[in-house]
Amino acid sequence: MIEYLDIGKVINTHGVRGEVKVLPLTDDPSRYNLLKEVLVEEHDKLEKYAIQSVRYHKGFILLKLDNVNNMDDAEKLRNKVLKIHRKDAVKLPEGSYFICDLIGMKVFSIDRMELGSIKDILKTGSNDVYVVSYGEKEILIPALKTVVKSIDIESGKMVVDLPEGIIEDEI
């Protein structure tokens, strides 16, 4: 399991006092209000930055971090990914998973046929869709309780009961 979760990417500076403009990599950006610090990979190690303030602006997050006091300091963080330790992540409701835990997971049909591995997850609004690669082909599996029968994060396995026609249409 991944120990550190990506929660955002610094895409620019904001103003002259050292704020950074962050593209959130979470489905609920208000979670930033609960954070006290973020981690940034610098020179092959993770550096801690305490969060002084969080603001929201046009779908982005504006962060003021300790020891980032001017535009030059903020510029050094451009294109860096913000991370948190898994223990500091929001607790997910039963039956919900972090995307990073699902990517790469092996997918099996209920009759134990290996279908492939999850390579991407599409957000469609009504339900997510797992993109499963099997060789050169892809299977699109709706993330519905009627389809996904079990997910075992520890073993990296998912069992699905595919609606009729999905395999014939895709493989």
Q: What is the pLDDT of residues 106-119, one digit of tens each?
A: 999 999 999 999 99
**Full domain range(s) for residue 121:** 99-170
Same domain? 16 vs 77: yes
- Structure pTM? 0.77
Domain holding 43: CATH number?
Answer: 2.40.30.60
Q: Are residues 25 and 59 in the same domain?
A: yes
Q: Return the structure tokens found at 112.
A: 């134990």
Residue 93 within any structural domain of the chain: no
What integer is the mean pLDDT of 125-138?
A: 89
State the burial class of residue 147 (Cβ atoms within 10 Å of its Cβ: 0-12, 13-18, 19+).
middle
74-80-84-89 Cα dihedral, nearest 10 degrees: 100
List, for residues 24-69, the tens digit of each pLDDT value: 998 888 889 999 999 999 888 999 999 999 999 999 999 999 999 9
Find all residues with CB under 8 Å of 66, minimum gap 6, and list them: 49, 50, 51, 52
Task: Name the residue among 55, 46, 59 with its Cα closest to residue 19.
Answer: 55
Calpha distance 55→109 (Å, rounded): 45
Q: Are residues 84 and 124 in the same domain?
A: no
- Same domain for 65 and 107? no
- Domain presence at residue 94: no
The domain boundary, picked from 39, 67, 88, lies at 88
Q: Quick check: is 155 in a domain?
A: yes
pLDDT higher than threshold 80 for residue 1: no
Q: Name the band, by pLDDT with cuts 50, 70 and 90, for residue 167.
A: low
Report the domain count for the chain: 2
